[in-house]
């Protein structure tokens, strides 16, 4: 693989051009999805008169805060197709973007602790295989072979009864993914504009023709929202409602350790997921805080429960120390599946509702959202994820079907 490292502070991070008066396409939000959308608009569709507007700094939202788990072992056909497309893109993106962002296919275990977990896991392995997704069912002894530091003894509160295993799943270094996408989008002519908050929409009847920002009015042929956690706020500004709720979502890391954890372990039942970053931190995440909010921080009791679960599964972690905790703000739909498609406002498109699991989807979200914006029609992969499903009832009910949702 030919790769070339990015400099410590890539030039485009600081360039921050003045917005032009108009663009063919404006993307709101320079997280992973916004950057991937801009990259694929330019690369797949030749549309380069594009601005990505970011109210903070480039990829400083959930893209900077997630625990980087990448997998495609979802139960339902529509989700498996989307996430498997993403995994295929992850496998070729380091070479395509000429940047090794440490995509490590170290496998993901989804643990089963109850008979119901076992039934769900075995069913999901079958469904995955039918969809061409690599998946295995492992016994507790086989689980221990994959992850020797995991406690598979029958004496724990929730013994490990088995696990699904996806060998092609893994992790990547999220900030470098963002920079790699941003660098290539920048090279293709996209304007990445930071400190530029969208505060309203310019409309001509039912059609959006631009946005109001803290840096002035910018006109646009089409506008795409990729503002995870804030989608409903933007939708309201544009005059329609989205079925999403914003929740805090937290994670933490330990101080650095020698490599001890060879894979990624997720447990829905005791609710924690753990990997070890390339630098050596143990990376642990939990579920969303139950209340709505935009604070990018969560409650201490969530972290406490997450740590208790981690120590139960990995007794060796009792000696580790927390280095830092943080929170992001994610938007969640009623069926725990994303929305990608047109909105009731002409020329305004939305990509939202990825909840706790949108990092792994980054390239496929960008690929399909760019297609939708460029052609005005959904890509076959995102057609089932349209907003209309909440009125037709054709929900993609991954809630509870996809193990821990990350």
Ligand X SMILES: Cc1cc2nc3c(=O)[nH]c(=O)nc-3n(C[C@H](O)[C@H](O)[C@H](O)COP(=O)(O)OP(=O)(O)OC[C@H]3O[C@@H](n4cnc5c(N)ncnc54)[C@H](O)[C@@H]3O)c2cc1C
Chain contacts with ligand X (rule: CB under 6 A) = 28-34, 53-56, 59-63, 65-69, 197-198, 226-230, 234, 249-251, 285, 328, 330, 354, 356-360, 406
d(CA 390, CA 242): 10
For the CB of residue 401, give the shortest distance to ligand X in the complex, in Å.
16
d(CA 395, CA 406): 19
For the CB of residue 37, give the shortest distance to ligand X in the complex, in Å.
9
d(CA 231, CA 352): 6
Residue in the shown chain whose Cβ atom is closest to ligand X: 31
Question: What 3-state DSSP class applies to 79?
Answer: helix
For the CB of residue 369, give the shortest distance to ligand X in the complex, in Å.
10
Residues in contact with 87: Cβ distance below 8 Å, sequence separation at least 6, in sequence order: 70, 71, 72, 168, 169, 360
d(CA 193, CA 17): 6
Q: What are the helix and strand counts (H, E) for the chain?
A: 11, 16
Q: Given the complex with ligand X, which of 224 and 357 has the nearer CB atom? A: 357
Angle among Cα 200, 205, 206 to the nearest 5 degrees reads 75
The token pair at 94 is: 């380091």
For the CB of residue 273, give the shortest distance to ligand X in the complex, in Å.
7
Q: Given the complex with ligand X, which of 28 and 42 has the nearer CB atom? A: 28
For the CB of residue 226, give the shortest distance to ligand X in the complex, in Å.
5
Q: Given the complex with ligand X, which of 127 and 249 has the nearer CB atom? A: 249
Q: Given the complex with ligand X, which of 152 and 252 has the nearer CB atom? A: 252
Q: Given the complex with ligand X, which of 28 and 146 has the nearer CB atom? A: 28
Q: Given the complex with ligand X, which of 152 and 180 has the nearer CB atom? A: 180
The DSSP-derived string for 217-245 is EEEEEEEEE--TT-HHHHHHHHT---S-E
For the CB of residue 146, give the shortest distance to ligand X in the complex, in Å.
19
């Amino acid at each position: 693989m030919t790769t070339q490292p990015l400099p410590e502070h890539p030039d485009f991070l600081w360039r921050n051009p003045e917005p032009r008066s108009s663009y063919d396409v404006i993307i709101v939000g320079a997280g992973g999805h916004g950057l991937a959308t801009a990259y694929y608009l330019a690369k797949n569709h030749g549309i380069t008169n594009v601005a990505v507007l970011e109210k903070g700094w480039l990829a400083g939202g959930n893209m900077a805060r997630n625990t980087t788990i990448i997998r495609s072992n979802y139960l339902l056909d529509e989700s498996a197709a989307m996430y498997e497309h993403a995994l295929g893109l992850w496998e070729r993106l380091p070479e395509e973007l000429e940047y090794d962002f440490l995509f490590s296919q170290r496998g993901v275990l989804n643990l089963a602790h109850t008979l119901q977990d076992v039934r769900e896991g075995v069913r999901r392995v079958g469904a995955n295989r039918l969809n061409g997704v690599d998946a295995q069912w492992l016994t507790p002894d086989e689980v221990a072979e994959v992850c020797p530091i995991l406690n598979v003894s029958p004496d724990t509160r929730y013994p490990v009864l088995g696990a699904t295993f996806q060998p092609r799943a893994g992790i990547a270094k999220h900030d470098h993914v963002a920079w790699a996408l941003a660098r290539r989008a920048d090279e293709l002519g996209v304007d990445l504009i930071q400190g530029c908050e969208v505060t309203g929409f310019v409309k001509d009847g039912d059609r959006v023709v631009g946005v109001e920002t803290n840096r002035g009015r910018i006109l646009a042929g089409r506008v795409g929202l990729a503002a995870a956690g804030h989608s409903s706020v933007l939708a309201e500004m544009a005059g329609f409602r989205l079925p999403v709720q914003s929740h805090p979502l937290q994670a933490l890391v330990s101080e650095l350790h020698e490599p001890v954890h060879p894979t990624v372990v997720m447990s829905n039942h005791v609710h924690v997921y753990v990997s070890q970053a390339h630098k050596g931190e143990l990376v642990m995440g939990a579920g969303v805080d139950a209340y709505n909010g935009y604070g990018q921080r969560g409650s201490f009791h969530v972290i406490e429960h997450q740590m208790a679960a981690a120590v139960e599964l990995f007794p060796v972690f009792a000696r580790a120390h927390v280095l830092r905790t943080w929170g992001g703000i994610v938007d969640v739909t009623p069926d725990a599946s994303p929305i990608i498609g047109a909105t009731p406002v002409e020329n305004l498109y939305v990509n939202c509702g990825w909840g706790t699991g949108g990092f792994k989807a980054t390239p496929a979200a960008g690929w399909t959202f760019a297609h939708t914006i460029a052609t005005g029609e959904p890509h076959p992969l995102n057609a089932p994820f349209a907003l209309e499903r909440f009125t037709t009832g054709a929900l993609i009910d991954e809630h509870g079907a996809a193990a821990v949702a990350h």
